[in-house]
Chain A
Amino acid sequence: MTTAIHTEDLHVYFDKNHALKGVNMDIQKNEVTSVIGPSGCGKSTFIRCINRMNDLIPSCTVKGKIIVDGQDINDDAVDVVDVRRRIGMVFQKPNPFPKSIYENVAYAPRLHGVAEEVNGKIRRRKHTKKELDEIVERSLRRAALWEEVKDRLEKGGLSLSGGQQQRLCIARTLSIHPEIILFDEPCSALDPIATAKIEDLLVDLKKDYTVVIVTHSMQQAARISNRTAFFYLGDLIEMGDTKQIFERPHEELTEQYITGRMG
């Protein structure tokens, strides 16, 4: 088993508020890792560090190391745009662009172009129409949405149902082949049937990707993840195999949370 993400003494501050207090964590490749904990425990803050989304908040400072592929992506010298291309994110509320389904998925590939090696040099060029069509179809298939939308790709992304919109957002993320996909409570705005579809999809995605999901549903964590991390007030209290965390937690706090006596 290989480590996909390794954090070392990760601290986050919002002005003077110490939101994450020295997190050391290893996230395994091709697994689903869930992050649980009561509201305000720092779980969303933690995953937003991994693709540097916290950079967008002016009052936020992130200290410590986040090693992905041997590179500290929290280093100031690292290109955030490149980090976000390699580490995708799906948000709590489905947020498709107010454009067509096709354009939603084709946006990122168009943006980045195709990298080609010509005479030993890496060059970027535009996709051909055929290549884009293939990417759109492949991404939508992978996100289990193709059969539902193949006849109306030119329709607006916002005309879809909530669950379909969220799968469109997943397809959009898959279109540029990230290594890691972060999910920030992706089902909290969805009904149980749509949630079940997304959960199946997440389990399937781990074959090709490393999946990290923040969830406030413990049942969801138990159903889909290989490993679970429990956060409380900015501290990583315990992390281990999901089975172990839910059946034999080592820490008192973890047990209190999963049995519903706290949180």
Chain B
Amino acid sequence: MNRKAKETVYFSLFRICAVLVVLALVVLVGYIATGGLERLSVEFLTAMPHHANTEGGIFPAIVGTFLLMLIVVAVSVPIGVMSAIYLVEYESRSWMGRIFKLTIYNLAGVPSIVYGLLGLGIFVAYLGFGFSLISAGLTLSIMTLPLMISAAREAIAAVPSSVREASLAMGATKWQTIWHHVLPYALPGIFTGIILSVSRAAGETAPLMLTGVATSLQRLPDGFFDSFMALPYHIYFMATQSSNLLATRPIQYATALVLLLLVLGMNLIAIVMRKRYRDKYKW
């Protein structure tokens, strides 16, 4: 085979792989949409479930998942970004920094059910938060931290050292340099981390089952220490535990569709923010 032909073959191969990925998403969304659209209505989105979830809406599950996402953003973003700053700016070469990095990589590989057990032990039992929104939210936050730290660490490390030198050489302190330069320029990458973390947290089921998700609530949680419903668990429950599996199938599809849209919506916000900062600080 001559060089030109080889070039064509490899290029086609790469293109096919890329198309496959897009195809997977299209099929997934299409399948869920065709199954779920008929059940989707304003009532479905805003009403409480009744008759063992077979009728009514999924409003408490939407609110529950949304609140979980908010807790994850509020907890794992600041801790993740600050850890990343520490790792890059203060301990990048020391043995301590290396141990931290190794720990984070290993934490990223721990199965989510194990995080669920951890949450059950620490937040539910030891700290006495009970089976609640806060226990589940904190468990998901810990689970997404490695992802958040890795993304933020890469973004911060990608800021050229010449920029840091320029700022320091004008008499800025290390913190001023980080605050005025490193962090703003790393923001697009940090937003990527937020997208990944929140999406991962929104879709998790296993940790929720151990920390306070409810199968059915005819009301919204009355605070962070109350139990809650969540979209992924609702899908799991309707698909496996429901009394009439066939009759509830449209509900499963519609719930999956809502979860997908909620995650996409949150991601869209992060993507818009990322675009804004990319345009603002170009190098």
Please tell me if the beta carbons of A97 and B166 are within 8 angstroms of each other in the complex.
Answer: yes
Interface string of B138-174 (1 = CB under 8 A from A): 0000000000000000000000101101111111110
A93-B162 CB under 8 A given contacts A84-B168, A98-B282, A158-B282: yes
12 residue pairs from A and B, CB less than 8 Å apart:
A81-B171, A81-B172, A84-B168, A84-B171, A91-B169, A93-B162, A96-B166, A98-B163, A98-B281, A98-B282, A111-B180, A158-B283
Chain B interface (Cβ within 8 Å of chain A)?
A: 93, 160, 162-163, 165-173, 176, 180-181, 185, 281-283
Please tell me if the beta carbons of B181 and A97 are within 8 angstroms of each other in the complex.
Answer: yes
A82-B165 CB under 8 A given contacts A98-B281, A156-B282, A158-B282: no
* Chain A residues with CB below 8 A from B163, complex form: 95, 97-98
Contacting residues of chain A (64-111) with chain B, CB-CB under 8 angstroms: 81-82, 84-85, 88-89, 91, 93, 95-99, 107-108, 111
Give 6 A-B pairs besides A56-B165, A88-B170, A95-B162 with Cβ atoms closer than 8 angstroms: A84-B169, A95-B165, A97-B163, A111-B180, A158-B283, A172-B170
Chain A interface (Cβ within 8 Å of chain B)?
A: 51, 53, 56, 58, 81-82, 84-85, 88-89, 91, 93, 95-99, 107-108, 111-112, 156, 158, 169, 172-173, 176
Please tell me if the beta carbons of B170 and A85 are within 8 angstroms of each other in the complex.
Answer: yes
Please tell me if the beta carbons of B172 and A108 are within 8 angstroms of each other in the complex.
Answer: yes
With the chains together, A167 CA to B145 CA distance in Å? 43
With the chains together, A53 CA to B181 CA distance in Å? 18
Please tell me if the beta carbons of A176 and B282 are within 8 angstroms of each other in the complex.
Answer: no
Tell me the nearest residue of chain A to B92, going by C-beta. A58
* Chain A residues with CB below 8 A from B169, complex form: 51, 53, 84, 88-89, 91, 173
With the chains together, A99 CA to B283 CA distance in Å? 9
Please tell me if the beta carbons of A53 and B165 are within 8 angstroms of each other in the complex.
Answer: yes
With the chains together, A59 CA to B167 CA distance in Å? 21
Shortest C-beta distance, A207 to chain B (Å), equals 22
Please tell me if the beta carbons of A111 and B170 are within 8 angstroms of each other in the complex.
Answer: yes
With the chains together, A84 CA to B282 CA distance in Å? 27
Shortest C-beta distance, B181 to chain A (Å), equals 6
Shortest C-beta distance, B70 to chain A (Å), equals 31
* Chain B residues with CB below 8 A from A176, complex form: 170-171
Shortest C-beta distance, B90 to chain A (Å), equals 11
Tell me the nearest residue of chain B to A173, going by C-beta. B170
Shortest C-beta distance, B160 to chain A (Å), equals 8
Tell me the nearest residue of chain A to B173, going by C-beta. A81
Tell me the nearest residue of chain A to B171, going by C-beta. A85
Please tell me if the beta carbons of B283 and A98 are within 8 angstroms of each other in the complex.
Answer: yes
A91-B176 CB under 8 A given contacts A51-B169, A84-B169, A176-B171: no
With the chains together, A91 CA to B162 CA distance in Å? 8
* Chain A residues with CB below 8 A from B282, complex form: 98, 156, 158
Tell me the nearest residue of chain B to A84, going by C-beta. B171
Tell me the nearest residue of chain B to A89, going by C-beta. B169
Shortest C-beta distance, A98 to chain B (Å), equals 4
In-complex Cβ contact of A111 among B160, B165, B176 (8 A): B176
